[in-house]
Amino acid sequence: MTAPLPAGLALVAAAVLAVAGYAGGNLIAAAAGLSVLALAIGWGDLLHLPHRSGTFVLVLVLGVIGLGAGVVAVTPRFNVEQPLSVFAGVMAGAVLSTFAHELARRDDRHDLVESVTGTLSGQFVALLAAGWVLVGDTEAGSSAVVVAAAGIAAGRLALVLPLSMSLLTWVGIGAGLVASVVASVVVGSVPVGTAAAVGIAVAGVGIAVDRLVDADGVMTRLQPATLARAAAPIAAAGTAAYAVLRIGIG
């Protein structure tokens, strides 16, 4: 069994996204923003980075900019034909800001490599959260958000089962597939085949990210690192869901 508390918090975050999906637009961005905030609060603690206040600011700012770029990309008056293209400049800014952060440090820059890679990876995960805004703009709209949220929630929750790690991966992906398919039947608009692909994608990404940051094993109390571990899979799943939905239904 692994990390029951972050799994529960991830379920809450997914539920908030699903509810916000029905409102659309800015509320989806706001719901995804909560995951970005939680990620920023605890990312430095989760990875034991040396300059955590700087990491917090960079992850939060980059995540907010990414969400803003997502809102711009789906706003009709801006006429953006390739929504993902707007994020190239944001990611370039993340790289530059990461190195600027290191230059501004006044602690002899110890653990420099860890700080650079850890901060940049946190910014990258925060940027992926903007994918939830794009999911809400697909032809399926709110239904697509619900289907993707169900898949990532089920895949993440499956990891608390008392099974071997290798088996948990397959169980989690299977749970994500089933949850997304069931959600598609309930809400409509998303074809079952596409929903199955979305469930596999978001559950797989969520499990991979959770394994990547699983440094301290089971977390039994609420702390900044717990928030980040709960938020990271949810944030990362947004763009994965959008990629599958864009191919499946446009």
Average pLDDT, rounded, for the chain: 91
| Cβ atoms of residues 134 and 80 within 8 Å | no
pLDDT for residue 86: 86
Q: What is the mean pLDDT of residues 4-31?
A: 90
Closest to 231 in 3D by CA, of 93, 115, 128? 128
Dihedral angle over CA of 49, 54, 56, 58, nearest 10: -120
Q: What is the mean pLDDT of residues 4-23?
A: 91
pLDDT for residue 250: 65
Q: Give the residue with greater pLDDT, 211 vs 250.
A: 211
pLDDT for residue 139: 87
pLDDT for residue 188: 84
Tell me: pLDDT of 110 over 90: no
The one-letter amino acid code at 84 reads L
Q: Model confidence at 2, in pLDDT bands (50, 70, 90)?
A: low
Using one digit for the tens of pLDDT, what is the confidence trace for 134-163?
A: 999 888 888 999 999 999 999 999 988 888
Could you list the residue range(s) of the whole structural domain that residue 111 is in? Answer: 4-248
Q: Model confidence at 59, in pLDDT bands (50, 70, 90)?
A: very high
Domains contained in the chain, number: 1
* Whole-angstrom distance, CA of residue 110 vs CA of residue 45: 16
| Cβ atoms of residues 143 and 195 within 8 Å | no
pLDDT for residue 130: 95
pLDDT for residue 237: 96
Q: DSSP class of residue 108?
A: T
Using one digit for the tens of pLDDT, what is the confidence trace for 157-196?
A: 998 888 888 899 999 999 999 999 999 999 988 999 999 9
Using one digit for the tens of pLDDT, what is the confidence trace for 196-234?
A: 999 999 999 999 998 888 755 556 678 999 999 999 999
Q: Model confidence at 25, in pLDDT bands (50, 70, 90)?
A: low
